[in-house]
Structure 1
Amino acid sequence: MNAPLRIEASALALLWQLSARAREASSEETLGFVVVNETLSLVPYRQAAWWRAPAPVPGAVAAVSGLPQSDPGAPYVQWLGEVCRALERRAHCASPAASTSQPDPAMAAGGEAHVNVAADTPAQSADSPPPAWPRVFTADSLPDALAAEWDAWWPTHALWVPLVDRTGRSFGGVVFAREEPWTPVDEALLAELARVWSHALAAFSPRASWIQRAKLALSVGKYRRRMLVALACALVVPVPLTVLAPAEVTAKDPFVVRAPLDGVIDHLFAQPNQRVAAGAPLFALDSTALASRFALANKNYATAQEEYRQTAQLAVTDDKDRLDMALRKGKLDQSAVELDYTARELARVSVNAPRAGVAVFSDPNDWNGKAVSIGEKVMLLADPAHVELTAYVPAADNVDVVPGASVTLYPKSSPLASYDARIDTVAYRAEPTPEGVVAYRLKATFTGSVKPPLGVMGTARIHGRWVPLAYYLLRRPLATARQWLGW
């Protein structure tokens, strides 16, 4: 059973006052002065010192009782620092089980409080931080070099009060020394003050760095060890190396409708994404110039024909006209060729669909009145049932994609739908896309029975080779580091 300790109400009042003074401290220096000097009103001692373990100066004695400021070069302060370091190392190496439990003060009748201290408290969990309970020590607890100077600086009995916050981060500790032995009541009062001091120091200290958090995560503890082992095993689990790329559903083997001759587009008969039948008119060029040329060629042909007819009649009686008849015949043939060529050009002004399909082109307003050259692409005729996937893999995200790799398309218009495909070709050279991104273009054929509509935009997830999870997560950071460091 736990044995109650009787603490005077006056001691509890002093404890409350010292706690308030610690919380009202405006800086670490003020708090250190309160810790090593004003604690004397609650617990008698001859000497006290606060040792600050973390930054800015690891292992520095921050405050000494009776001195406005500690001198780091003083022999006593240097000896104190070595003693505190030895106590801190001993605390980390010690078992997490506490020799005495941390009592819970409770007010009792008659202006006194009863504090329960268990002599046989069970050991703490291995995953919890070391117990922040005061520990009595003597010269025998220190290394021989430090114990040899004990009598020169300190009285017989000393007490180490560690300062640890609720997360297990250490702020160092406070050491007290006096001639009388330390009682359980003294330990209980100082343990409660240590909690208040740690809470106040946490408000002044900067947030723990990632190195400190990593050290805390790697501290001794069965639960943490299991977590680290599980994390290490997860990092070597093989996963497919994937990359995301913008993609579009395009026509496979479309028919390219080109301008048959130089001219200006006069009218578009088809609309974008309109189904057209074979032989249906698609667009027409301006025929004004060709019609004039045809009329002129037709008139020249009629003139040459009449001249040839007259020359042939005169050649019957005149030898000279018989010689001119061959020249008129050649001119008539030339006019006939020009007329036939102009007629065929005029017939090509109107372009019809060579096969059925869907007209794929941009806004008609962009083409009306536009000058085109012979062979310039105007539109495509695509089969809606014969589509493929076109994706653009940025050069920075290339994962050595090869033909035969699987691809999954996630359309923007259908967030719950997906389509599987298999890569057919991959461009060997990266080229700028319309968005200005240097990327490799790849073509893929859909493997499922259901295919997306023509023109659907989305994101393609390209599956590469299998790699460990650690490589998957660190691939981009390592590539960036190599670019900066020049590995």
Structure 2
Amino acid sequence: MNAPVRIEAGDLALLWQLAARAREAESEQTLGFTMVNETLSFIPYRQAAWWRAPLHAPGAVAAVSGLPQSDPGAPYVQWLGAAFRALVRLAANHAPGAADGTSAGAASRTEAQTEGRSADATQANEPHASVSTRPFAFTSAHLPAEVAAEWSAWWPMHALWVPLADRTGRSLGGVVFVRDNAWTRTEEVMLGELAQVWAHALAAFAPRATLATRARLLLRPGKVQRRVLAGLALLCVVPVPLTVLAPAEVTANDPFVVRAPLDGVIERLYTQPNQRVTPGTPLFALDSTTLASRYAVASKNFDTAAEEYRQTAQLAVTDDKDRLDMALRRGKLDESRVELDYTARELARVRVTAARAGVAVFADPNDWNGKAVSVGEKVMLLADPANVELTAYLPVADNVDVKPGTTLTLYPKSSPLSSYDARIDTVAYRAEPTPEGVLAYRVKATFSGSGPRPVLGVMGTARIHGRWVPLAYYVLRRPLTTARQWLGW
């Protein structure tokens, strides 16, 4: 175990001031200037440089001490880029051994040289890889030969690499400090604490990865990509039931239709919607003013014809001429009797009564009072509340070749926690417009089981269960249908 590090109070104050400056930085450039220049008041060094490793892009020299802005074309900056790329590999693979001294330098250089250009490109293009977050000292012996050859032209003997990483371990780059004297453990510890503050501030400036970028990272060539593609392929062939949703309503099964017996105007409704009635209960009545007048006229004509026939019959006893008129009077009497009987029957039909027991099903009574109706027009239904069925309206666009015998489930709007299963009996062969103006097939279904059934008139959504299909077909069915209709193939 390493011995505890003692830090003076003055150093702690400087550390606190630099941390505050990092938190107050308004931009990434300001933060970089603070890291490579203002740290000199805390730790003595000759030169410093910041290597930025942004997400999904190769790294770059972002800041150099003593310069307001680094020039990518400058020889020193280009050599720094090569040195930093070597340090990235060193931090990822040899950081624990590099801190021990220069004894492992020859082995590190040999291994770095054998890695070649491919390893250099891989590390440079994967800045998000997890690396060691501990600062470590190094010399030219730890770097490849082509980089170490120019060390003395740019840097003094001793260098310190301070890696920057966020809380997930993703590399944000690093800062290198160089000077003539060797680095002490106290300085390494203090710069390590300061590096955590810098990394936290850099993470705040880092752009958020988009969904497309995350998808590209997930599908990078490798074992993870193969697993993801295999999982997607397996998911596409998972069988799922092909289901569609359709508006539905609980309707009466075999209701009795109450129609207008003759042409006229509805004068009064004696029942209310959903009212239970028994056989003989008055339902509604038509205006009888016209029929009553016709009955009065027919009755008067009948009385007149009967009196004329009686007088002619008396005269026919003594006069042969009146005997001939008696047959004519008899015909007029029979004609007036037929008209009187017909008018009486029509007048008796003005008041409509229930032919059987049930529940009166119709709209608001105010919609019928005073409304003119023609003979045979439907006014209301008499339904049995215990004998109900389900009527669903399957839109043409959602038709999945539904056939009788298929099951469906009703989810009432009034009770979202309840559901009722039914079996399809009939499917209309021709689509008709619904009250909402949507072309749909009328589907009739009978509720299965002997349990409780929904109340007459309940509306909801019916889920019609079809055949089993792959998940890819279930997801792409509607887009493919739209594409075929638009492209014509």
* TM class, shorter-length: 0.7 to 0.9
Taking the aligned partners of 2:259 and 2:177, their CA distance within structure 1 comes to 96
Instruction: Name the residue aligned to 1:62.
Output: 62
In the TM superposition, what are the counterparts of 1:62-461 in structure 2 within 5 Å?
Answer: 62-78=62-78, 80-81=80-81, 84=84, 88=88, 90=89, 94=92, 99=96, 129-134=130-135, 153-155=154-156, 158-179=159-180, 182-213=183-214, 237-307=238-308, 331-393=332-394, 401-428=402-429, 431-435=432-436, 439-450=440-451, 451-461=453-463
Give the deviation of 1:31 after TM superposition. 1.0
Give the deviation of 1:340 after TM superposition. 3.2
Instruction: Name the residue aligned to 1:465.
Output: 467
Taking the aligned partners of 1:179 and 1:477, their CA distance within structure 2 comes to 72
| 2:366 counterpart SS class | helix
Unpaired runs of 5+ residues, structure 2, are 100-128
Instruction: Name the residue aligned to 1:14.
Output: 14
* Most deviating of 57-66 and 228-237: 228-237
Pick closer, same or farther for the CA change 1:330–1:437 going to 2, 3 Å.
same
TM normalised by structure 2 equals 0.75
Pick closer, same or farther for the CA change 1:80–1:101 going to 2, 3 Å.
closer
Taking the aligned partners of 1:91 and 1:335, their CA distance within structure 2 comes to 123
Taking the aligned partners of 1:101 and 1:453, their CA distance within structure 2 comes to 81
Instruction: Name the residue aligned to 1:114.
Output: none
Deviations 1:87-109 (A, max 9, x none): 55x489x46x973799xxxxxxx
Pick closer, same or farther for the CA change 1:391–1:309 going to 2, 3 Å.
same
Give the deviation of 1:253 after TM superposition. 1.8
Pick closer, same or farther for the CA change 1:9–1:348 going to 2, 3 Å.
same
Deviations 1:120-160 (A, max 9, x none): xxxxxxxx954333355666777777667656555555544
Taking the aligned partners of 2:96 and 2:306, their CA distance within structure 1 comes to 130
Q: Is the 8 A contact 2:95 2:136 kept in 1?
A: no
Taking the aligned partners of 2:6 and 2:341, their CA distance within structure 1 comes to 126
Q: Is the 8 A contact 2:98 2:137 kept in 1?
A: no
Q: Is the 8 A contact 2:257 2:382 kept in 1?
A: yes
Deviations 1:266-314 (A, max 9, x none): 2222222222223332221111111112222232333344445556666
Taking the aligned partners of 2:63 and 2:437, their CA distance within structure 1 comes to 63
Give the deviation of 1:449 after TM superposition. 0.3
Taking the aligned partners of 2:437 and 2:137, their CA distance within structure 1 comes to 72
Q: Is the 8 A contact 1:304 1:332 kept in 2?
A: yes
* Most deviating of 21-30 and 166-175: 166-175
Sequence identity of aligned pairs in percent?
74
* Most deviating of 456-465 and 355-364: 456-465
Taking the aligned partners of 1:340 and 1:312, their CA distance within structure 2 comes to 24
Deviations 1:295-346 (A, max 9, x none): 2223233334444555666677778767766665555554344333322222
* Most deviating of 200-209 and 392-401: 392-401
* Most deviating of 18-27 and 336-345: 336-345
Taking the aligned partners of 1:317 and 1:168, their CA distance within structure 2 comes to 137
Taking the aligned partners of 2:365 and 2:138, their CA distance within structure 1 comes to 93
Taking the aligned partners of 1:368 and 1:484, their CA distance within structure 2 comes to 49
Q: Is the 8 A contact 2:54 2:206 kept in 1?
A: no
| 1:202 counterpart SS class | helix
Pick closer, same or farther for the CA change 1:318–1:54 going to 2, 3 Å.
farther
Deviations 1:27-62 (A, max 9, x none): 222111101111233334433333333379864433
Give the deviation of 1:414 after TM superposition. 4.2
Pick closer, same or farther for the CA change 1:443–1:187 going to 2, 3 Å.
farther
| 1:453 counterpart SS class | coil
Deviations 1:354-396 (A, max 9, x none): 2222211222232222222222221111122211122344556
Give the deviation of 1:211 after TM superposition. 4.0
Instruction: Name the residue aligned to 1:118.
Output: none
Give the deviation of 1:22 after TM superposition. 0.7
* Most deviating of 148-157 and 189-198: 148-157
Q: Which is helix-richer, 1 or 2?
A: 2
Unpaired runs of 5+ residues, structure 1, are 103-127
Pick closer, same or farther for the CA change 1:196–1:344 going to 2, 3 Å.
same
TM normalised by structure 1 equals 0.75
Give the deviation of 1:421 after TM superposition. 1.4
* Most deviating of 29-38 and 74-83: 74-83
* CA root-mean-square deviation: 4.5
Deviations 1:412-434 (A, max 9, x none): 44454432212223345555544
Pick closer, same or farther for the CA change 1:56–1:267 going to 2, 3 Å.
same
Pick closer, same or farther for the CA change 1:33–1:397 going to 2, 3 Å.
farther
Instruction: Name the residue aligned to 1:41.
Output: 41
Q: Is the 8 A contact 1:419 1:448 kept in 2?
A: no
Pick closer, same or farther for the CA change 1:292–1:397 going to 2, 3 Å.
same
Taking the aligned partners of 1:101 and 1:386, their CA distance within structure 2 comes to 87
* Most deviating of 72-81 and 309-318: 309-318
Taking the aligned partners of 1:167 and 1:438, their CA distance within structure 2 comes to 55
| 1:250 counterpart SS class | strand
